[in-house]
Amino acid sequence: MLRFIVDSRKRALIAIILVGMAPTVSVLISFATSGGSLSQVAFILSKLWLFGLPLLWYLRVDGGEISWSKPAKGGYGMAMLLGLGTSSIIVIAWLIFGKWLDTEHLRQSVEPLGLLDSRLYLAVALYWILVNSVLEEYVFRWFIVEKAEIILGGEKGAIILSAAIFVLHHTIAMMYFGFPWWTNLLASLGLFVGGAIFSWQYLKYRSIWIPYITHAICDIAVFGIGYSMLF
């Protein structure tokens, strides 16, 4: 029995490393290549990895069955209220601290990606809100939270670990986009709290769709702020 527990924790740790570090690797490649073609290839491969590996692991290693994670306990209203409340905090924080952000550096950072074209920016925003946020819930809340539960043996530790992994690549990306260290710190703290809230929602409802609603509403606020800074 003890050996089974140890082995399951080792497998869970390997799974978290293989999946949880992929976004950070992708961001670091973007740093090194200044948004070139290699960066785009790394981005696409990382998304395929993030979708495929957890699914393969769940089916082949864990012996699970495919599920659409349909919410069985409700939570839609709470998800929307949390999303609106968190988005309000994001907007207020930007109104207070936004004047210290280097807009010109941000423009220079996103120009190689073509994001100074407002149509492309809006297309990317839609992709992020409708697709990427679902993928992040699938990865960071479903897969990583459940593996963290195995490793740490409880929900509190799983929430903290998953939130820390979630915030890592965002912090590096904000460095790349020219956020001053102290605004990066504040934003990273906010992302950690947000990631912890999403993980708590997943554990409460055992569905990725409840935290996704909150996450998507927050992304709308973030991309709205980004649009106002770039255009």
- Please give the model's pTM, rounded to 2 decimal places: 0.90
Buried b / exposed e along 192-215 (16+ C-beta atoms within 10 A): bebbbbbbbbbbebebbbbbbbbb
pLDDT of residue 2: 44
CA atoms of 40 and 90, how far apart (whole Å): 29
pLDDT of residue 174: 87
CA atoms of 134 and 5, how far apart (whole Å): 31
CA atoms of 140 and 137, how far apart (whole Å): 5
Give the three-class secondary structure for 64.
coil
pLDDT in tens, the chain (231 residues): 545 455 889 999 999 999 999 999 988 887 777 666 777 888 899 999 999 999 999 999 999 888 888 887 889 999 999 999 999 999 999 999 888 888 887 888 788 777 889 999 999 999 999 999 999 999 999 999 999 999 998 899 999 999 999 999 999 988 888 788 888 998 899 999 999 999 999 999 999 999 999 999 999 999 999 999 999
72-76: long-range contacts, CB 8 A cutoff, minimum separation 24: 72/205, 72/206, 72/207, 73/204, 73/205, 73/206, 73/207, 74/205, 75/201, 75/204, 75/205, 75/207, 75/210, 76/210, 76/213
16 within 8 A of 147, measured Cβ to Cβ: yes
Q: What angle do CA 32, 219, 163 make, to 5 degrees?
A: 70
pLDDT of residue 110: 81
What's the burial of 15, exposed, middle or buried (CB within 10 Å: 0-12/13-18/19+)? buried
| pLDDT (tens digit per residue) in 152-192 | 988 999 999 999 999 999 999 888 887 888 889 988 999 99
pLDDT of residue 67: 85
